[in-house]
Amino acid sequence: MNRESISQELFRQSLLQTSRRQFLTESAAGLGAIYLATQQAGGNRAHANASLQHGFDPQHDATNPLSPLTPPQPAKVKRVIYLHMVGAPSQLELFDYKPDLKKLDGKECPQSFLEGKRFAFINGTPRMLGPQYDFQQHGESGAWVSELMPNLAKQVDDLCFLKTVKTDQFNHGPAQLMVHTGAAPMGSPSIGSWVTYGLGSENEDLPGFIVLLSGGRLPRVGKALWGSGFLPSVYQGVQCRSKGDPVLNVANPEGVSRQERRQVLDALAALNQESLQQYGDPETVTRIAQYEMAYRMQVAAPEAMDLSQETAETLENYGAEPGKESFANNCLLARRLVEEGVRFVQLFDWGWDTHGSNRGESLEHGLPDKCKQTDKPIAALLADLKQRGMLEDTLVVWGGEFGRTPMRENRGGATMAFHGRDHSPEAFTMWMAGGGVKPGFTYGETDAVGYTAATESVHLRDFHATLLHLLGFNHETMVYPFKGLNQRLTGVKQSRVVEEILT
């Protein structure tokens, strides 16, 4: 390759790396940059005007987009801990007791259950599958809980069950997005992003929205579940770890002192402020705030996430082990984080996809293993929050992305070696505990086999509207202009606050 061909190749590669914004900035003596700046300013004005028109315009501090705000309406909840069991736990083995289904065990599924339905793996005519575990009633509320959750069974009088939650999606990725962003396609803000956008955070040294993972894998669509979508990126969730440094690269590189880091950040802040004044891009404010947050987190995050500060009794109650990665550790971390003023803590636990395709994904082995890992920590979290007087204004949410079928999965039309259930979007169980919801209460009832709602169907949009209501927001007016529409968590279809479950 000669010098001329090398130069041509370098020029070609530089063009490939040039973004549309860079091209417009550099073309015609920078006239493109002037145009983009005016468009950005106009977009900011349009956003402000549209938000004001619909009654929602969070006025954060100009230098801190996470400054704490008072919600526009009276609120019962100040903070949220959301426990998502990734893969969709079987409601028929945990909370939705169906003795009639036991009588049908092994019989061919009625064709009426199959007509017009879509399944991920069921083929032909499957057989009905009775509940695989025993149930008993617990507490003054008499709630039915299976033998797999003995510790949580003691807390049922603090739980508010939704037995008839419905979703539009029957595959994991879109269904998980539907739960956490209100839309199946990627690109919409997560619940935690909406909440921190509207309320900010009560701790300026930690992110307002923190994500904790367990189970050994990311959820199917990964970080899109805690992304900020079209909201400013400062409102996206920050993934932390219960083992090692809480956040990757939170420590200074070897040989760099904290004072030197401060000098570098001051220089960057000056450059970013100049860029902000010149172009008015709100992402510049995000960039400045995130650099400063990272600097403060170097001290605050390790301290907040140091489980060794807890008593031996507390560690035993949760089943937590400092220095390890586990759901138990994450539950205890969630309590510590909300205690420190973090607004929204999201836990994802992988491993609840019980198809019966192998031992780990079976109802007889995989499901009890997951229950053993989570039952004790969840019960401890609820008891701990209650004992500290925090359950009154903290909302704890538990659920998956859809339910499981009352039929046994027969992948490829064959009888499988292990017992399992296919995806079922028509009716599944979620529960909430804490601020603003009725304790010891069950809302909705499924049919005799737990397949569809017999009464009071609750779409995920209704769940989202109710959650926002508890935090002090009207789901119809909490909007953000994007692509010519006033976007909202509950979307454009009709949704309602489930008033019946509220205190």
Residue 5: predicted pLDDT: 60
Task: State yes or no: pLDDT of 297 exceeds 70.
Answer: no
β-strands 159-166, 143-146 pairing: unpaired
> Mean pLDDT across the stretch 445-471?
98
What are the sequence ranges of the domains in the chain?
A: 79-250+301-501
The structure tokens listed for 56 are 């929602």
In single-letter form, the type of residue at position 497 comes to V
**Mean pLDDT over each residue of the chain, to the nearest integer:** 88
Task: Give residue 142's pLDDT band: very low, low, confident or very high (50, 70, 90).
Answer: very high
Task: Give residue 57's pLDDT band: very low, low, confident or very high (50, 70, 90).
Answer: confident
pLDDT digits (tens, 9 = 90+) for 269-295: 677 777 778 777 767 776 777 666 665
In 10 A of CB 351, how many CB atoms? 22
Task: State yes or no: pLDDT of 245 exceeds 70.
Answer: no
Handedness of CA 60, 61, 66, 70 (dihedral sign): negative
pLDDT digits (tens, 9 = 90+) for 366-398: 999 999 999 999 999 999 999 999 999 999 999
In 10 A of CB 97, how many CB atoms? 21
> Right CATH number for 79-250+301-501 from 1.10.132, 3.40.720, 3.30.310, 3.10.400?
3.40.720
The structure tokens listed for 201 are 């955070």
Of 17, 13, 37, the residue nearest 25 (C-alpha): 37
**Lowest mean per-residue pLDDT among 215-224, 267-276, 318-327:** 267-276
* Helix spans in 280-416 (H): 282-304, 312-318, 327-339, 366-387
pLDDT digits (tens, 9 = 90+) for 422-455: 999 999 999 999 999 999 999 999 999 999 999 9
Share of the chain above pLDDT 70, in %: 83
Alpha-carbon torsion, ordered 483, 486, 491, 495, to 10 deg: -170
User: How many residues does the structure list for the chain?
Assistant: 503
> Mean pLDDT across the stretch 2-15?
59
pLDDT digits (tens, 9 = 90+) for 302-315: 788 899 999 999 99
Contact 182, 465 (CB under 8 A): no
Which class for 140: exposed (0-12), middle (13-18), buried (19 or more C-beta within 10 A)?
exposed
φ, ψ of residue 236 in degrees (nearest 5): -75, 155
> Mean pLDDT across the stretch 135-142?
98
In single-letter form, the type of residue at position 311 comes to T
Residue 244: predicted pLDDT: 66
Share of the chain above pLDDT 90, in %: 71
- β-strand partners of 441: 160
pTM score, whole prediction: 0.84
> Mean pLDDT across the stretch 66-95?
97
Task: State yes or no: pLDDT of 44 exceeds 50.
Answer: no
- The Cα 360–Cα 366 span in angstroms is 4
β-strands 428-434, 394-399 pairing: antiparallel
Task: Give residue 267's pLDDT band: very low, low, confident or very high (50, 70, 90).
Answer: confident
**Lowest mean per-residue pLDDT among 200-209, 237-246, 345-354:** 237-246
Task: State yes or no: pLDDT of 6 exceeds 50.
Answer: yes
- The Cα 232–Cα 252 span in angstroms is 27
> Mean pLDDT across the stretch 320-345?
96
Helix (H) or strand (E) holding 202, with range, is none
Q: Which residue has the higher pLDDT, 262 or 196?
A: 196
- The Cα 392–Cα 472 span in angstroms is 15
